[in-house]
Amino acid sequence: MSLSYRQPGVILTDRRFTVPLDHAAPDGETIELYAREAVASDKAGQELPWLLYLQGGPGFGANRFVGRQAWLDRALRDYRVLLLDQRGTGSSTPATRQTLPLRGGPAEQADYLTRFRADSIVRDCEAIRAEVTGGAPWTVLGQSFGGFCAVSYLSLAPEGLDTAVITGGLPSLHAHADDVYRSAYPRIERKVTAHYARYPQDVERARRIADHLLTHDVVLPNGYRFTVEAFQSLGLMLGTSDGSHRLHHLLEDALVRTPGGLDLSDAFQEQAQSLLSYAGHPLYALVHEAIYGQDARPTAWAAERVRAEYPQFDAAKALTGDGPVIFTGETIHPWMFEADPALRPLRETADLLAARTDWQSLYDPARLAANEVPVVAAVYHDDMYVDTAHSLETARAIRGLRTWVTDEFEHDGLRAGAPRVLDRLLAMARDEV
């Protein structure tokens, strides 16, 4: 039974769906999906087209808005919106260190997790569409990894789509994970360089923190082993609109003088563990590189291997001279499964996923070349998380796709620039601009 309730300006309805774990075996095991339907209070009785929102990630549930926040306000002018918690996320059947042992050992867990990529998410969407829309096609709004899913949707089931709107999420159709990270590390370095140009005082602060971590064994209050590599991974923030400022504020009070000498402040440690922990989204770490698996080549911890090609990211070497400590970004490493208590029990499972050689293609270039669905995409120039060159190559490969290339926003433009970003993309899709 669905439950409806009100927030300012919007009526929300909790919806649950049962779908096959493996869509190739529709009569087999099932899992549950959760979604939140949203409609403007003054349009609740109207017949409206549907917009399906696919969150970025992988591994994150859909936004939990309060009322008509951010881009949702613009969407509710025209649509009923379905905020889907993709399989394994949010209030859908979870996949965590607590639940995955129900599958069996690491081998069984890894097999299970192969069904949590974009192709399965698209088939979930098609499985629930008839119940939600009565069979009518819907508009999909894909943010980041949600855009990857939208491109898979255009490949696997374009008949289900009225329009596809993509923000910061046009994937390469062919690149191996190694290619993705060889493109990523130079972009990450550019973001770090820009941060230090904005906040030059952070160069010395980061060096002092890195030195402390290299000479002390630090365990955060939640049990996270805080190494210098973990500290560098806080650079993930630099891909968002306010991330440079938030990183600066994090660093400015990191060290405190104590009777035993300089130490990391309690406030800094509390904030760091919140930013570093994968307790709320372990799928992000588990299947992040798997979203780039498209053939018989294993991903094989690509971000870790490729990082070795860029020695400037070695903090210990940086401290032997007077150079800056270079932060990293959206990269997943084996050490995370040793450092993070939420991931520690899943290390062998992650290793098995990294070694797999039976990945199936997520995209159909021939079908995309013949596409008839209106598609628009915001491509953020020098996006830290998604390579601009890869995105533009894919844009050229999808028939009829219109791009808006902008350096006004970072990867989170849909959030930071709302409702302006969504308004422009919808106008482009309707040939109004």
| Residues catalogued as catalytic | 144, 358, 411
Contacts of 260 (CB under 8 A, 6+ apart): none
Measure the CA–CA gap between 72 and 93, rounded to whole angstroms: 25
Taken as a whole, the chain contains a residue count of: 433
Identify residue 121 by its one-letter amino acid code: I
Question: Among 171, 55, 67, which Cα is nearest to 412's?
Answer: 55
Tokens standing for 95? 């996949």
The sign of the torsion formed by the CA atoms of 86, 92, 97, 100 equals negative
What are the beta bridge partners of residue 80? 50
184 Rama class: left (phi>0) / alpha (psi -120 to 50) / beta: alpha
Measure the CA–CA gap between 390 and 259, rounded to whole angstroms: 52
Across 274-283, b (16+ Cβ under 10 Å) vs e yields eebbbbebbb
CB-count burial class (<10 Å; 0-12, 13-18, 19+) for 5: exposed
Report the first-to-last Cα separation within the chain, whole angstroms: 42
- Residue 401 three-state SS: coil
DSSP 387: -
